[in-house]
Amino acid sequence: MQQKSTNTNVAATSRNAASKRRSTGERDCRPGWRGWNLRRGVSCWIALVVVVGLIAGPAAGVQPEPQPQTQTNATGGLAEAPSPTDRVNITYTLDRSPNERGHALVTANVTLPSDVSSFDISLPSAATVQRTQGFERDEPGTMGWEWNGSTRHASITYLASVNATSGGDLEGVATGQWALFDWRTVGIDWESERTDDGTETRPSETARVAEQGVAGPNFAYLGPGQTYDRTVDGTTIRLVVPKHAQPANEPQAMLTALAKAERSLQLNARTTHVDVFVAPPPIGVSGRSGGVTRNDRHDMLVHQSKRLATPDNVLLHEYVHSKQRYDTTDEMEWINEGSAEYYGALLAYRQGLVSFETFRDFAVSEAYPESTLADRESWSSSRVAYRKGLRTFTALDATIRSRSNGTRSLEHVFRRLNQHEGEITDDVFATYVAEAAGESLTAWLDEHVESATVANVPTSEARYGQSGSQAADTTTGSVTAAVLRPAIANAPPVLFVGGIVLLLAGWARRPPDGSR
């Protein structure tokens, strides 16, 4: 399921003109477990103890892929990239609230450049403000807070309800022991005056966790757990497994499926980081995409019960959403879920997770024969886009392969959609389909998209490209794991550098209760 995100920034119309904009912010953050926190009252002297051979290096003959360079800050997480001084910067610090089940403690730290003349922040409904600096309530009884101009480094701390439902199922929750939720819940307004070239002030919104957990560009997990990551062709895929989760699949198997998908699906949609959150009960949704990819970063959550060995593959379905970089008209919105459902099943087949017969039986669903994909008013359920969209794309891909003599496929269409500037209309879609097929398929699209006619799905396995037996596992990226548990919260830090473990000895840290 894809979550939609919008930005409605309005650029300045002339030099020295004031511009007012509203934004949900840019989705970019440098997440990481927040483990070691150096505060006042912490002292240490350091000796390096070198332990050689405790962690085995790569097997002979196997060369790991180069890993991206990261910088650790004082709290042990990934360092934030320097924020440009010409934009509004908002950093949300997220923390659990054990005494307030269903809530998380949020501090929004706002830095405003000199050209910003006013700034308002609208908190989520029922939020309880605990303290502010540089903000005053906009109007009594509202959730709006206005910057008072006293400082350009303002902040507001509030208790936010994070329990959320979708279709009757929980999709965000805070249990007291852990929390998993969508942290993007505020609205911002600002006015700025440019004195140089009239370019607009761009907002940047990032999140970090106060203690244990991971914050992605949209979702955040707070609590103990384990992470696994693999880098494939410049894309780092990180799997976040909460301590209380019991995944139906081995984490390494999930990473392998995602790594193969990254290499197999070439849609001109570069993503440098993808965070996958495994969702334990009481969360009930099967899966959810974080929405629009921002700054080449994406995230999603997948319920712990979802298996890999099925054509109804939630993990791969949600991953396909990270490759969708286009906007559609309402008439063409069905292609988002339809293509994710199709490629999720096709990738499962190509990876050998399911047989061709299982894949085809899933694709030839007879569901919603009376519904027209391009006419939402004819839909009896939102599942029309998934199920009938799946069957239509299965048939369309096979048709393109046949008409182009196997030289092109549906992937060519989606590569072009991702490059397209402007909304995807039915005419735009038909143009790129014709380009891929080498001839017009307008009549085919009119019959199966603009009307309710059910598309015929070919029975030949050769019409669907590389089979599972041919899809060798060519991923060689290294895998790392990071574990944080409360029991080791006061242990000395350990650095792993090139096969050598460096223990930082002589560590002293004030216990959580403040005693010495």
What pLDDT is attached to residue 365?
A: 86
Report yes or no: 433 and 339 within 8 Å, Cβ to Cβ. Answer: no
Please check whether residue 267 is in contact with residue 418, taking contact to mean a CB–CB distance below 8 angstroms: yes
CATH 1.10.390.10 maps onto the chain at: 226-470
Handedness of CA 122, 128, 131, 136 (dihedral sign): positive
Query: In the chain, pLDDT over 70 holds for what percent of residues?
Result: 72
| pLDDT tens profile 257-311 | 999 999 999 999 989 999 999 999 999 999 999 877 777 899 999 999 999 999 9
| Alpha carbon separation from 277 to 9, 220, 304, 474 (Å, rounded) | 30, 8, 9, 24
Q: Count the alpha carbons within 13 Å of 153 in the hemisphere toward its beta carbon.
A: 1
Give me the pLDDT at residue 5, please. Answer: 43
Helix (H, G, I), strand (E, B) or coil at 84: coil
Helix, strand or coil, per DSSP, at residue 229: strand
Whether the Cβ atoms of residue 471 and residue 348 lie closer than 8 Å to each other: no
Mean residue pLDDT across the chain: 79
Q: What is the pLDDT of residue 398?
A: 95
Q: Which two tokens stand for residue 412?
A: 């060519």
Which of the two residues, 509 and 324, has the higher pLDDT score?
324
Lowest mean pLDDT among 3-7, 77-81, 158-162: 77-81
**Can you give the pLDDT at residue 99?**
87
Closest CA to 75 of 396, 484, 390: 484
Q: Residues 350-406: pLDDT tens digits? A: 999 999 999 999 999 889 999 999 999 999 999 999 999 999 999 999 999 999 999
**Confidence at residue 317, expressed as pLDDT on a 0 to 100 scale:** 97
pLDDT band, residue 199 (cuts 50/70/90): low
Residue 202 has pLDDT above 80, yes or no: no
Q: How far is CA 266 from CA 170, 181, 343, 401, 467, in A?
A: 33, 30, 12, 16, 17
- For residue 514, give both structure tokens: 């403040």
Which comes out higher in pLDDT, residue 413 or 499? 413
CA 32 remoteness from chain centre: 14
pLDDT mean over 334-363: 97
How far apart, in whole angstroms, are the C-alpha atoms of residue 329 and residue 427? Answer: 11
Residue 324 has pLDDT above 80, yes or no: yes
At 357, which helix (H) or strand (E)? helix 356-363
100 vs 486, residue with greater confidence: 100
| Domain 226-470 is found in CATH 1.10.390.10 | yes
Q: Could you give the CA distance from residue 161 to residue 105 in angstroms, rounded to a whole number?
A: 9
Residue 380: predicted pLDDT: 94
| Percentage of the residues of the chain whose pLDDT score is greater than 90 | 63
Range in 328-337, 376-385, 461-470 the model is least confident about? 461-470
Among 103-107, 251-255, 335-339, 363-367, the range scoring the smallest mean pLDDT is 363-367
Q: Which residue has the higher pLDDT, 132 or 72?
A: 132
Token duo for residue 15 = 């030099």
Judge whether residue 408 has pLDDT over 50: yes
Asked whether residue 80 carries a pLDDT value surpassing 80, the answer given is no
Determine the Cα–Cα distance for residues 132 and 128; give it in Å rounded to an integer: 12
Handedness of CA 281, 285, 287, 289 (dihedral sign): negative
**Beta carbons of 290 and 303 less than 8 angstroms apart:** no
Task: Give the whole-angstrom CA distance, residue 226 versus residue 255.
Answer: 14
- Among 34-48, 89-103, 179-193, 215-229, name the one with the lowest average pLDDT: 34-48
| From-to residues of CATH 2.60.40 in the chain | 1-23+80-223
Helices 356-363 + 334-350 axis angle, to 10: 160
Q: Are strands 88-96 and 203-209 parallel, antiparallel or unpaired?
A: parallel
pLDDT at 176: 85
**Which helix (DSSP H) or strand (DSSP E) does residue 343 occupy?**
helix 334-350
CA distance 89 to 258: 32
Residue with tokens 């405790």: 54
Whether 75 has a pLDDT exceeding 90, the answer reads no
pLDDT at 472 over 70: no
Tell me the CATH number of domain 1-23+80-223, given options 2.60.40, 3.40.720, 2.30.30, 3.40.50: 2.60.40
Average pLDDT in the 421-438 region? 98
Question: What integer pLDDT is reported at residue 453 of this predicted model?
Answer: 97
Instruction: Tell me the pLDDT band of 177, cut-offs 50, 70 and 90.
Output: very high
Greatest mean pLDDT among 19-23, 227-231, 290-294 lies in 227-231
More confident residue, 275 or 48: 275
- pLDDT value at residue 254: 98
Burial class (CB in 10 A: 0-12, 13-18, 19+), 354: buried
Cα 297 to Cα 271: distance, rounded to the nearest angstrom = 6
